[in-house]
Amino acid sequence: MVANPQKFYSPEEYLALEEMAEYRSEYYRGEIFAMAGGSANHNRIAGNIYLELRETLKGKPCEAFITDMRLHVKKNSLYTYPDVMVVCGRIEYVKGRTDTLTNPVVIIEVLSDSTQAYDRGAKFELYRAIESLQDYVLVDQGRVHVEYFHKLEDGRWLLAEFNELEAVLRLEGVGVEIPLSLVYQRVEWENFILGE
């Protein structure tokens, strides 16, 4: 993320600017941050996960969303675009909008070199203010590595890590299992394509 010059914006100003913008931005406490575009592998991974969730959740009261759906965290004023989200039950939108939801059960971020420290640290801290959030997943696009955080009943977060294509990620918040071989399908590393 790169901060624009030090002008502070209201959430309403940010949303108005975002409607006209050629690129997506995050908003936090009056500042607007341009978001970098994703690589081909980033898009493959996010797409693979989204498609699997969409198929698996058919007929259930949950729905998956991909990159262009904005998230607002009410308790700390963050507006952002997670790579993949799942909402169960009624979708709660920001008042007067249908492009910004507030109640995900699952958030998945595909890591890049420029965002991984933020996604693991400050952003996860901001996301933990979402009462509905049960699962937070970080997927490394440079190697087979998934970090899965699940919120326990007492509010603590439990971490599980997966480093093998044979592993299966179980999203407890929605009762869905996703094989890592599917997550990384068609991902290219140094001219090597996984699972064509």
| Tokens at 121, concatenated | 């640290």
Q: pLDDT under 50 in the chain at which residues?
A: 196
Same domain, 29 and 56: no
CATH code assigned at 180? 3.90.1570.10
Query: For the chain, what is the domain count?
Result: 2
Same domain, 5 and 83: no
Which pLDDT score, from 0 to 100, does residue 114 have?
A: 83
Which pLDDT score, from 0 to 100, does residue 119 have?
A: 87
Q: Are 17 and 7 in contact (CB under 8 A)?
A: no
What is the pTM assigned to this prediction?
Answer: 0.91
Check residue 96 and give left, alpha or beta (phi > 0: left; psi -120 to 50: alpha): left
Same domain, 89 and 124: yes
Query: Domain of 158?
Result: 39-193
Same domain, 6 and 92: no
CA separation for the pair 38, 21 (Å, rounded):
17
Same domain, 16 and 65: no
Look at strands 135-140 and 188-189 and give their pairing.
Answer: unpaired
6-60 confidence digits (pLDDT tens): 789 999 999 998 898 888 899 999 998 888 777 899 999 999 999 999 999 999 9
Q: Are 154 and 125 in contact (CB under 8 A)?
A: no
Which pLDDT score, from 0 to 100, does residue 191 have?
A: 56
Beta carbons within 8 Å of 84's beta carbon, 6+ residues apart: 46, 49, 50, 53, 64, 65, 66, 67, 106, 107, 108
